[in-house]
Amino acid sequence: MSFVVVGLNHRTVPLPVLERVTVPPAQIPKALRDLAGREYLAEVALLSTCNRTEVYACCTKFHPGVADASEFLAEQAGMRATDLAEHIYSYYDEAAVAHLFGVAAGVDSVILGEGQILGQVRDALKVAESEGTAQLSLSRVFRHAIEVGKRSRAETGIGRGAVSLSSAAVALATERLGTLVERRVLVLGAGEMGEGMARSLAGSGVAEVVIAGRGTDRATELAARVGGRAIPIERLPQALVAADLVLTSTGATDIVISHDDAEVAMQRRFGRPLLIVDIAVPRDVDPGVADIPEVTLLDMDDLKAFAESSMDRRRREVARVRRIISAELERLRTERTGREVAPLVSALRTRGEDVRLAELERFRSKLDGVDAKTAEAIEALTRGIVAKLLHEPTVRVKEAAGSGRGELYADALSALFDLDPE
């Protein structure tokens, strides 16, 4: 059984492709069932965020398993697998584990060290376990990754001063506008990102925060927490006319602010400029809105460029995080060694003891006349011979466990001694 990750992220594909493969949270259970139904994928988890869509799987065969996961991503994008192949990366066994550890630790994010990804890894595991697609093997690796993420943030400065995507969006808007004091802000979306952006406005001196969401109850609750007001999504056209800044990140799969919506709103603003920061993937705002006079539209690509300029301090912490990842990989390797080798070693020792007892039984008629002291010496002598003979093979197979050589040793022991570790 091989552990693999197959995916695309903000480094390997342009935003238009990344948003096509993004799986909305409501569709992840269905996607997991789809993946689990493919021939070579035994256990599956799916991590789909605004930065990445990745399939983590325990597969029965490596290359066919990677092909199954790649085909799924291509279907999500509405592309042929061959056309998407140049953008897809895949990692195998320990490299796949190291990749997941790095993702959970925040060293593979747009915002280096951002904390939201750790919760997203945890959620990916929770959904997969709920759907029954993540069982013992996959769950063990994901739980270890969550530990790595926690340890990295506790023992290094990777998360110190790090901004989340939502707070980075507000910081980017502040830089572009110069100040948010007395600005009217429309936050589109009342989910995790929307709440993060709304909370990041605290202390900025904004004149008003308006929360627009499809679920009015959630929008109302969020508005109450941040001292704003909620409106139904149907009133979005009027809200666009009043706002100075629009921050948007919904879970919608279709465009929320169309070119026509924005154009009509700008006609009613009498030349007042409008800044829109869209960090949704897929995008909430029609990219063509950027061509409307007096509208500035920023998206994830702009946010990535902004984040790059403020990462120097956290970059110095990456080496420390990598050392933690290496140590945790070694710990995982040791634990796996114990799980894999212990049954084989136990079977080897059982076989040795069976042979010893069988030989003593074969010579029992010749040993019946010996005294108790001699019988005890024979028992100790035969036990000692078996132990010494099996000591070196046992040590060698334990030392090599987890490597290609270890697999050869284990296979050889199983074949030569006809062992069945099960």
Distance, in Å, from the CA atom of 51 to the CA atom of 300, rounded to the nearest integer, reads: 9
Tell me which range, 41-45, 75-79, 165-169, 392-396, is most confidently predicted by mean pLDDT: 41-45
Residue 162: the pLDDT is: 61
Residue 147: the pLDDT is: 95
pLDDT digits (tens, 9 = 90+) for 220-266: 999 999 999 999 988 999 999 999 999 999 988 889 999 999 999 99
Please state which of the four CATH numbers 1.10.3720.10, 3.30.70.3270, 3.30.460.30, 3.40.50.720 is assigned to the domain occupying 2-161.
3.30.460.30
Whether the predicted model's global pTM rises above the 0.75 cut: no
Domain residue limits, the chain: 2-161, 165-305, 338-394+404-416
Level-2 CATH architecture, domain 165-305? 3-Layer(aba) Sandwich (3.40)
Residue 294: the pLDDT is: 95
pLDDT digits (tens, 9 = 90+) for 81-125: 888 888 999 999 899 999 999 999 999 988 888 888 999 999 999
Tokens 């990842």 label which residue?
325
Mean pLDDT of 349-373: 86
Element (H, E) at 238: helix 236-242
Model confidence band, residue 396 (pLDDT cutoffs 50, 70, 90): confident
* Active-site annotation holder among 50, 57, 138, 246: 50
Comparing 338 with 116, the larger pLDDT belongs to 116
Per DSSP bridges, beta strands 2-9 and 89-92 are antiparallel
Bond from prior residue into 282 cis (ω within 30 degrees of 0): yes
Q: Report whether pLDDT(346) > 60.
A: yes
Distance, in Å, from the CA atom of 150 to the CA atom of 135, rounded to the nearest integer, reads: 22
All residues at 6 or more sequence positions from 78 whose CB lies less than 8 Å from its CB, including other chains: 20
Instruction: For residue 195, give the nearest of 166, 155, 169 by alpha carbon.
Output: 166
Q: Report whether pLDDT(406) > 70.
A: no
Residue % of the chain over a pLDDT of 90:
56
Give 275's strand partners.
Answer: 245, 296
Specify whether 59 is catalytic. no
Model confidence band, residue 421 (pLDDT cutoffs 50, 70, 90): low
Distance, in Å, from the CA atom of 154 to the CA atom of 156, rounded to the nearest integer, reads: 6
Residue 314: the pLDDT is: 77
